[in-house]
Structure 1
Amino acid sequence: MTWDAFHHRGDVLRDVVAEAEARRDGVLPTELPGVTEAFGDAHHLVAALQLRWHTRLAGSIERALQDQPDDLESAVVSGWRDAATGLAGVRRVLDEQRAAPASPEVGETLERAHRKEAAMLAVLAGLAYGADVAAVRVGERLEERARTTVHQAA
Structure 2
Amino acid sequence: MTWDAYNRRKETLRDLLAIADRRRDLTLTELLDTVDEDRKAFADETELLFDLQMSWFQRLSGQLDRLVTESTESPEMMAATAWVNTAAEMPGARALLDAHIHETALAKAFAKEQAFLAAAAGVPMSHPDLTGHGRRIMNSARESVVATATAA
Please give the range of the TM-score, normalised by the shorter of the 2 chains.
Answer: 0.7 to 0.9
- Write the letter of the residue equivalent to 1:3: W
What is the deviation of 1:131? 6.3
Task: Establish whether residue 16 from structure 1 lines up as the match of residue 16 from structure 2.
Answer: yes
Q: Could you tell me which residue of structure 1 aligns to residue 3 of structure 2?
A: 3
What is the deviation of 1:70? 5.5
- Write the letter of the residue equivalent to 2:88: T
Task: Establish whether residue 36 from structure 1 lines up as the match of residue 32 from structure 2.
Answer: no
- Write the letter of the residue equivalent to 1:118: Q
Q: May I ask how many residue pairs the two structures share in their alignment?
A: 146
Provide the C-alpha distance between the structure 2 equivalents of 1:56 and 1:97, rounded to a whole number of angstroms.
Answer: 19
TM-score, normalised on structure 1? 0.86
Q: Which of the residues 117, 138, 142 maps onto 1:143?
A: 138
Paired residues for 1:2-151 under 5 Å: 2-25=2-25, 27-28=27-28, 29-31=31-33, 32-68=35-71, 71-99=74-102, 107-126=103-122, 128-130=123-125, 133-151=128-146
TM-score, normalised on structure 2? 0.87
Provide the C-alpha distance between the structure 2 equivalents of 1:41 and 1:23, rounded to a whole number of angstroms.
Answer: 20
What is the deviation of 1:4? 2.1
Confirm or deny: 8 A CA contact 1:26 1:96 kept in the other structure. Answer: no
- Write the letter of the residue equivalent to 1:30: L
What is the deviation of 1:108? 2.5
What is the deviation of 1:138? 0.8
Provide the C-alpha distance between the structure 2 equivalents of 1:35 and 1:52, rounded to a whole number of angstroms.
Answer: 18
Provide the C-alpha distance between the structure 2 equivalents of 1:69 and 1:121, rounded to a whole number of angstroms.
Answer: 17
Identity between Structure 1 and Structure 2 (%): 33
